[in-house]
């Protein structure tokens, strides 16, 4: 497999963790989203939305959208599982993943930050406030779903990592890298983050460990 990646992309980090947990190797091709590598004609042919990640699996059509890729990996490589087997648990795990992926992450991606700066002419302080607000809103919502919930265990759902943990860790990593925000005010999320980061699959795929991460990142 081949993965088109950008070191700081939250969505790509989710996929890197899933590949690592499932013991799958993917050759990395890095794109610099700030320089606009994603708009090149050859990449656009793979990913008409011109975003990362894109996963190429042999001669099959390109796979796009990180959560769709996670579901694909789960279906094709079910062991170890990243979703529980029980239907209400699966729904809960997907919902937690989607709270950060759909209701927080969209607001911090490069194309939105560009719109805030170039179209709305917002100054840096106002832009940082925007990023912090939506990242924080997402963390607060997830904490509300995790705290005082008997189904929360060492991880978001029980005692093994699921796609909820992948998304939560990638989200909290973005919050820390972009705004210096630590999850201290959200004890359950913070505890699970620490637990996850002790696992190689989360630690070794960290944005700062990527070949395209700047030395001072």
List interacting residues with a copy of itself (CB under 8 A).
44, 48-49, 51, 57, 60-61, 63-65, 67-69, 71-72, 75-76, 87-88, 90-92, 94-95, 97-99, 101-103, 105-107, 111-112, 115, 119-120, 122, 126, 129-130, 133, 137, 141, 144-145, 151
Nearer to a copy of itself by Cβ, of 92 and 171: the residue is 92
* DSSP class of 37: G
With beta carbons less than 8 A apart as the criterion, state whether 210 and 5 touch: yes
Q: Which stretches does DSSP call E strand in the chain? A: 2-5, 27-30, 54-56, 63-64
Nearer to a copy of itself by Cβ, of 20 and 146: the residue is 146
Nearer to a copy of itself by Cβ, of 80 and 144: the residue is 144
Residue 179: CB minimum distance to a copy of itself, A:
16
How far is 101 from 168, CA to CA, in rounded Å?
9
Nearer to a copy of itself by Cβ, of 26 and 97: the residue is 97
Burial level of 38, CB count in 10 A (0-12/13-18/19+)? buried
Burial level of 128, CB count in 10 A (0-12/13-18/19+)? middle
User: What values do phi and psi take at 204, rounded to 5?
Assistant: -75, -20
Residue 199: CB minimum distance to a copy of itself, A:
24
Residue 151: CB minimum distance to a copy of itself, A:
8
Residue 198: CB minimum distance to a copy of itself, A:
27
Residue 47: CB minimum distance to a copy of itself, A:
9
With beta carbons less than 8 A apart as the criterion, state whether 202 and 17 touch: yes
Nearer to a copy of itself by Cβ, of 106 and 208: the residue is 106
């Amino acid at each position: 497999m081949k993965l088109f990646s950008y070191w700081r992309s939250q969505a790509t980090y989710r996929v890197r963790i899933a590949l690592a947990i499932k013991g799958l190797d993917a050759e990395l091709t890095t794109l610099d989203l700030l320089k606009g590598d994603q708009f090149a004609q050859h990449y656009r042919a793979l990913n008409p939305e011109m975003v990362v990640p894109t996963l190429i699996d042999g001669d099959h059509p390109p796979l796009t959208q990180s959560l769709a890729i996670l579901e694909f990996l789960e279906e094709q490589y079910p062991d170890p599982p990243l979703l529980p087997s029980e239907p209400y648990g699966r729904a809960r795990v997907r919902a937690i993943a989607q709270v950060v992926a759909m209701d927080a992450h969209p607001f911090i991606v490069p194309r939105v930050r560009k719109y805030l700066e170039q179209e709305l002419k917002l100054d840096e302080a106002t832009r940082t406030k925007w990023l912090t607000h939506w990242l924080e809103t997402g963390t607060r919502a997830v904490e509300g779903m995790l705290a005082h919930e008997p189904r929360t265990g060492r991880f978001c759902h029980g005692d093994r990592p699921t796609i909820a943990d992948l998304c939560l860790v990638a989200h909290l990593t973005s919050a820390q890298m972009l705004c210096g925000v630590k999850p201290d005010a959200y004890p359950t999320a913070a505890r699970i983050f620490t637990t996850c980061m002790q696992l190689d699959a989360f630690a070794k795929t960290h944005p700062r460990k990527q070949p395209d991460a700047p030395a001072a990142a």
